[in-house]
Amino acid sequence: MNIRSHFFSIENPDNFARSGELRLRARAAIPGGAHTYAKGDDQYPLLAPGFISRGLGCHVWDVDGNEFIEYGMGLRAVSLGHGFPAVVKAAVEQLSRGTNFTRPSALEVECAERLIELVPGADMAKFTKDGSTATTAAIRLARAYTGRDMIALCSDHPFFSYDDWAICTTPMNAGIPQAVAQLTQGFRYNDLSSAEALFAQHPGRVAALILEAEKEVPPAPGYLAGLRELCHRNGALLILDEMITGFRWPECSAQRHHGIEADLSTFGKAMGNGIAISALLGRREIMELGGLDHDRDRVFLLSTTHGAETHALAAALAVMNTYRDEPVIETLHRQGSRLKAGIESSVQRRGLARHFRLAGRTSNMVYACCDRDGVPSQTFRTLFLQETIRRGVLAPSLVTSYSHTDDDIDRTIEAIDGAFAVYQKALVDGPETHLIGRPVAPVFRRRANSTSAGTPRTKARGPRKAKAS
C-alpha cells in the first residue's frame, strides 16, 4: 500500500459514501449503531471508515474499498493478524466436523490443560465467550468461597465487565439498583494504603479485589505481592484480569512476568486471535465449587451453551502453538518499540512534547492528545484520528500485531508525522479550523449528547448512585 495514494480529500464525504448509507440503517436497527460501544460512530471522526468489510494481516478494507494499516487490532483481540492462516485452518477444520455436541469435546480437556500450563498457580480452567462473563464468574466464585458480599475493583482501570457489579462504578449506571451498587467499592493502583483503608472501613465484608496486573503504568516493586498478602491477611481473594495482558505480555501472562500468583484470573481477547473465547482460571479449592468433588453449596459456574465450541477451542490451541513455536511476543514488542521511537522523534522535531504523549508497554501502547495548555482534549484526539485516517492509518490506539512489518511501521510513522504537521497548525489557529464535524466523545458518559465522562475516578470510593439517565 502506498500511503500517498490513499491521501483522502478530507472535504469529500464520497470517500465513505457506503459507510454513510450503512450508518443510517445501523442506527435504526442497533442501539448506538454498533454492538460494541468502543467501535461506535461517536468514537471516530465524521469522515472515517464506518464499517470494515475484510482484513488481512494488519491491513483492513472498509465497505467503500479504502485500505488502512490498522492498530488496535479488534480491541486488542487480534495479536497475530487478521486471517492468520494457522488459526483459520484449525477453526475451519473443526467447523466442518461440528461445533457443539450433547457431550463435551476432547478439545475442552486439551485446551484447558494447555492454558493451565501458562498461568502460574492455576489448577483448573473453564471457558466462556467474552471477558465480562469470565470476570463476573470470578466475582460470584469469590463471594461463594469467602461467604462475603462486597467487591473492590481498581478505580484506575476503566472496564472489567458489562455486568452490574462493575458498570455501577461508571457514569453509565442507569438500570442498576442502588442495593447492588453499594456492594462495589474502589481502590487505587500502586497504592497499598488505599486497599488497606478499604479493608479497615469494611471489616469482614470484602470478598475479593480485582484489577489488571499492569495497564499503562507498571506495578511498583512489591505492589502486587503486597496486595496479595493484604487480601489473604484479610480473608479475601486476589483476582487478576488478564484480558489484555494475556498473550501480549512476556511469557503470555503478566502474572508470570511479574512473579505473582492470583487466586483467580481471567483471559480472553488475543487467546482466540479474534474468535470469541475467554477463560476463568484459578486454584483448585476455589474453582471446584463449580464442580462435583466437594460437599459445599454448588456455584453455577459458566455453564453456557456456546462456551466450549470446538472451533474456538481449536483456534485457541493454534494460537498457543504459534506462540510456542514463533517469536510472537518478541515481535509485538520490537515493532512497538520501532513505532514508539519513530513517533517520539517526530514529536520532538515538531515541538509537540506537551501535546502528544505515548503510554504503556510497547506491545500495547495508547496515546493522549492535548491542547495548547497540555490538557487532554477530545477535539485534538479527533483531529489526530481524522488526519491519520486521511493518510491510510486507522489507529484508535497503537497496539501492534505479529503481522505488522517494518514497512507498515515506517509508513505509519510517516502518516503520523503528516498528521502532526496539521496538529501544529491547530495549536496556533484552533483545532476547529481543521476538523470536519464534531469531536469524539468518551464511551462512559451519562448522557448521549454529553462530551463529559463524568467525574474521573481519582480516589478509592464506592460507586455513584444509580439513577435514571
Interatomic CA distance for residues 75 and 43, integer angstroms: 13
Q: Which of 301, 273, 261, 376 is nearest to 126 (CA)?
A: 301
Whether residue 283 has pLDDT greater than 90: yes
Mean pLDDT of 138-154: 98
- Span 269-285, mean pLDDT? 97
Could you say which DSSP state residue 104 is in?
Answer: -
Mean pLDDT of 123-135: 97
Residue located via cell numbers 510517516: 414
- The Cα–Cα gap between 250 and 237 comes to 25
Residue ranges, comma separated, of all CATH 3.90.1150.10 domains in the chain are: 3-70+327-433
Q: How far is CA 282 from CA 152, 307, 335, in A?
A: 18, 17, 33
Instruction: Determine the pLDDT at residue 295.
Output: 87
Burial class of residue 399 in the structure, from the number of CB atoms within 10 Å of its CB (0-12 exposed, 13-18 middle, 19+ buried) = buried
| From 32-36, 140-144, 352-356, the region with the lowest mean pLDDT | 32-36
Report pLDDT for 35.
87
Asked whether residue 322 carries a pLDDT value surpassing 50, the answer given is yes
Mean per-residue pLDDT for 267-279?
A: 97
Q: What is the pLDDT of residue 11?
A: 56
Long-range contacts of 107-114 (CB under 8 A, 24+ apart): 107/308, 107/310, 107/313, 107/314, 107/317, 108/308, 108/313, 110/313, 110/317, 111/313, 111/316, 111/317, 114/317, 114/320
pLDDT band at 451 (very low <50, low <70, confident <90, very high): very low
The yes or no reply on domain 3-70+327-433 and CATH 3.40.309.10 is no
Least confident of 103-112, 363-372, 396-405, 448-457: 448-457
pTM of the model: 0.90
pLDDT digits (tens, 9 = 90+) for 383-427: 999 999 999 999 999 999 999 999 999 999 999 999 999 999 999
**Alpha carbon separation from 272 to 5, 141, 382 (Å, rounded):** 34, 24, 31
pLDDT band for 4, please (50, 70, 90 cuts): very low
- Give CATH 3.40.640.10 domain extents, the chain: 85-325
pLDDT 10s digits, 361-395: 999 999 999 999 999 999 999 999 999 999 999 99
Q: What is the pLDDT of residue 12?
A: 64
Instruction: Tell me which CATH code domain 85-325 carries.
Output: 3.40.640.10
Q: Is the pLDDT of residue 450 over 90?
A: no
Nearest Cα residue to 118 out of 226, 263, 228, 261 = 261
The pLDDT assigned to 448 comes to 76
pLDDT of residue 8: 60
Where does the pLDDT of residue 465 fall: very low under 50, low under 70, confident under 90, or very high at 90 and above? very low
The pLDDT of 439-461, averaged and rounded, is 57
Average pLDDT value for residue range 287-306: 91
Cα 377 to Cα 440: distance, rounded to the nearest angstrom: 10
265 CB-side CA count, 13 A: 29
DSSP 8-state assignment for residue 393: E
Phi/psi at 69 (nearest 5 deg)? -80, 125
Angle between helices 406-429 and 328-349 (to 10 degrees): 30
Better-predicted residue by pLDDT, 112 or 292? 112
Average pLDDT of the residues of the chain? 91
Look at strands 59-62 and 67-70 and give their pairing. Answer: antiparallel
pLDDT(142) > 60: yes
62 strand-pairing partners: 52
Question: Cα–Cα distance between 60 and 395 in angstroms, integer?
Answer: 12
Query: Strand runs (DSSP E) across 113-271, as ranges?
Result: 124-128, 150-154, 184-187, 206-211, 237-241, 264-267
Beta strand residue intervals within 89-178, DSSP E: 124-128, 150-154
Q: For residue 170, what are the contacts with CB-CB under 8 A and spacing of at least 6?
A: 158, 159, 444, 454
Task: For residues 1-22, give the mean pLDDT.
Answer: 68
Give tens-digit pLDDT for 201-245. 999 999 999 999 999 999 999 999 999 999 999 999 999 999 999
Comparing CA positions, the residue from 246, 247, 243, 195 lying closest to residue 223 is 195
Tell me the C-alpha distance between 235 and 229, whole Å.
10
pLDDT digits (tens, 9 = 90+) for 236-254: 999 999 999 999 999 999 9
Q: What is the pLDDT at residue 462?
A: 36
Strand partners of residue 370 = 376
What is the per-residue pLDDT across 29-77, written as a single tens digit (0 to 9) for each?
Answer: 999 888 888 888 889 998 899 999 999 999 999 999 999 999 989 999 9
How, if at all, do strands 278-282 and 264-267 pair?
A: antiparallel
